[in-house]
Structure 1
């Protein structure tokens, strides 16, 4: 199933879950937002709507790295001719060369890894927020997983519930946990093989049982 379909389903079930917790429009809208985001989170293990929405494109990232690397190296060359050699030139020269090398080998998946690291750094900045730290670790782990593996299993649900629990502990928003779980689980249900739109199913019980449902 496509990412946009998961987004719409997650938004709908999130709104219902939020309204069930606190029957008012505000909570329903919050639930819709959280449910929509959670509805695409399991697909962070592939280059789809979720991962592409939170990372720069490979093309943009490559251009930024190449530009930065070239600017650094040209600046250092100018400095050598005007001021002579210094110890800092080797350090910054290495950084410039590293940026050029990385720009040639970077992939969209590794951009997702970098995004996860940045999210974890944000967690440290925000008084070591465990919820954000866990969210960052989820993104990093997902960036190395095959599609429809652990993020599409009960293990993924439990890990995501743990993230929501700690986010709620820091920001107690009505309906957050219920809407988040509803959106996440809706993704796995919508990806099941019983639906004719899916050629593959969901391995709910991996790694203990790798049968697709």
Structure 2
């Protein structure tokens, strides 16, 4: 399935969540959109993604814009914490997701190494602040880039792990629906890929056959 399709589905999930959960606030809407979009694309942090070869010039420019915006915002979050001792969970979460979204459609060893290093930083931050969900998120980010495309990141087990991470993030932010949005976003990716000729190995490595649905 094309990356643009996953992106559209993720955005749609975020918009529905923003409209459903009350009271509506711009901050919550941004968080729902960021979480759902990243969740819908995160499975493709693995291996050599077919998305990369299908990007147009405008899409590539947008990718770079998202990446550098994420870098800038993440740097700002780090500065606020270490220099001014200010920590904004919502701002930090959006910054990290934008940063990682910029890497979803990239490929190569350098890309994988950068994501893994960033994942290790998240693991350390989770240990430092006693956030188990952040440790799990960091492990996901550090390991998935080195997996074969449509391998373990496209399984029921990855979905369960992502749900646990989303639940931890919801407890951290105290915003209802974040966990559900993250689960539905990730699930949408697996379901969309199940509709393709290649299918998805939902129960890999226990059951190695791809599951496909033809409409």
Q: TM-score, normalised by structure 1?
A: 0.64
Report what 1:14 is aligned to.
14
| Offset, 1:20 | 3.9
* C-alpha contact 2:170 2:177 (8 A) present in aligned 1: no
| Offset, 1:28 | 4.8
Report what 1:107 is aligned to.
110
* C-alpha contact 1:13 1:35 (8 A) present in aligned 2: yes
Report what 2:93 is aligned to.
none
Q: Could you say what secondary structure the match of 2:150 adopts?
A: coil
Q: CA 1:208–1:19 in structure 2 vs 1: closer, same or farther (change >3 Å)?
A: farther
1:149 aligns with 2:151: yes
| Offset, 1:123 | 2.0
Q: Could you say what secondary structure the match of 2:146 adopts?
A: coil
| Offset, 1:206 | 1.3
Report what 1:33 is aligned to.
34
In structure 1, C-alpha distance between the alignment counterparts of 2:67 and 2:11, rounded to whole Å: 22
| Offset, 1:25 | 5.9
Report what 2:179 is aligned to.
177
In structure 2, C-alpha distance between the alignment counterparts of 1:38 and 1:30, rounded to whole Å: 12
Q: TM-score, normalised by structure 2?
A: 0.64
In structure 1, C-alpha distance between the alignment counterparts of 2:23 and 2:15, rounded to whole Å: 10
* C-alpha contact 2:48 2:148 (8 A) present in aligned 1: no
Give deviations 1:22-74, integer Å, cap 9, x for gaps. 47465555322211111111111135579x88989xxxxxxxxxxxxxxxxxx
In structure 2, C-alpha distance between the alignment counterparts of 1:25 and 1:32, rounded to whole Å: 12
Q: CA RMSD in A?
A: 2.9
Report what 1:46 is aligned to.
47
In structure 2, C-alpha distance between the alignment counterparts of 1:188 and 1:18, rounded to whole Å: 23
Q: CA 1:128–1:47 in structure 2 vs 1: closer, same or farther (change >3 Å)?
A: farther
Q: Could you say what secondary structure the match of 2:210 adopts?
A: coil
| Offset, 1:163 | 0.8
List runs of 5+ in structure 2 lacking aligned partners.
53-62, 69-108
Q: CA 1:17–1:212 in structure 2 vs 1: closer, same or farther (change >3 Å)?
A: farther
Among 118, 121, 138, which residue is 2:121 paired with?
118
* C-alpha contact 1:154 1:204 (8 A) present in aligned 2: yes
In structure 2, C-alpha distance between the alignment counterparts of 1:211 and 1:35, rounded to whole Å: 28
Give deviations 1:124-158, integer Å, cap 9, x for gaps. 34x12212111101111212211111111100100
In structure 1, C-alpha distance between the alignment counterparts of 2:67 and 2:149, rounded to whole Å: 18
